Amino acid sequence: MRVKSSNNCNPELHKAGAEMGPPTDVQIVTSDGNTIAAHSSVLSSASPVLERMIDRARKGWNSDSTIRILGVPSDAVVAFVQLLYSSRMVPLSSPEIEDVLDQHCLQLLAMSHKYRVPSLKRSCEEAVAVQLTPDNAVDVLKLAKLCDAPRLYQQCAQLVAKDFLAVQESDGWKFVQRHDMMLELEILQFLEDRDERKKRWKQQREAQKVYQELSEAMNCLHHIFADGCPEMREPCTWFESCQGLKLLMQHFATCDKKLARGGGGCLRCKRMCQIFRLHSSTCSESKSCRVPFCSHFKTKTQAEKLDKTWRLLAKKVATAKVMSSLANRKRPEEVDQSWAKYMRRK
């Protein structure tokens, strides 16, 4: 490979290209008139698009097989051709190639996409992602969208959402506001969706916390009545909610308002009744359960049709109960030994 009118060639990469024995048979013309002599076999094997361009040039009036790579600086085209040569002998992760990628990563990303060089495109995406800042995030996002780089696009969008105040001061965002309304709306929609996702995740975490607390209350009921809590008058060391649940049951046993009708009654007693009812909905024991009102609520449930909300609540609590038991399950010694052996190998 020979380059005319270019002073920024990497010597190691140039050496890699110069080791190609046959004489050059293709001329690459850049936007500023520079000419790069290359081997058609190397270009064709690296890029199907360049292969078609070379075939088209040879079939036409151009006997010199001249092709044009326009729209990018000459130095970037030189780097692109050098990488096509060097990738045949030097890994794209080598230090000398990483230096070239760092210098021309944006232009190389565009060319590797246009001329269909997937391995180089992946390396360019990684190099561009390392150089992402709030100042260039919008520009890189536009390029990632044009070059069909979804992973890079997502990284840009996340950076925009994370530091949107700084992004608003960038020239790229100001240009988008003036000339690209669709992209502006797309970015704003992404920010809104991100806020909505955060709200949903927060609600789901809070709901999961409630399900875990209710599942612990179910386990605590079984602990009190089936196992027999050994510390009935003292704080229990087995469950954090055990003492509070015992106090609630003592109130339930002595309260005179729990049977009040007409919308009245004690709120604490109603809560205790709901806990007993929820236990009956998740209890798998038919007649041997020692928890009070379990069989009563089961019979009532069979006679009446439960609403969907209550069935869903019982299902969620049962799932949380199973997951909690799996998390607290003691692993066999064989598993611990295998895991320790694996960690020593690492």
Ranges of the chain whose pLDDT falls below 50: 5-20
User: Which DSSP string corresponds to 230-264?
Assistant: S-TTS--SS-TTHHHHHHHHHHHHH-SSTT--TT-
Write down the domain spans for the chain. Answer: 1-131, 203-333
pLDDT score at 11: 41
| Integer angstrom CA distances of residue 172 from 138, 140, 160, 188, 281 | 6, 9, 11, 15, 58
pTM: 0.63
Residue 68: helix, strand or coil by DSSP?
strand
Over the stretch 324-336, which tens digit does the pLDDT of each residue have? Answer: 766 666 667 776 7
Asked whether the CA dihedral 90, 95, 96, 99 is positive or negative, the reply is positive
pLDDT score at 2: 56
Over the stretch 103-134, which tens digit does the pLDDT of each residue have? Answer: 899 999 999 999 999 999 999 999 999 999 99
Looking at domain 203-333, which of 1.20.1020.10, 3.40.50.970, 1.20.1050.10, 1.10.8.350 is its CATH number? 1.20.1020.10
pLDDT score at 10: 46
Closest CA to 278 of 302, 311, 308: 311
End-to-end CA distance of the chain: 44
Distance of CA 159 to the CA centre of its chain: 13
CA separation for the pair 152, 121 (Å, rounded): 11
pLDDT score at 291: 82
At the topology level, CATH places domain 1-131 in Potassium Channel Kv1.1; Chain A (3.30.710)
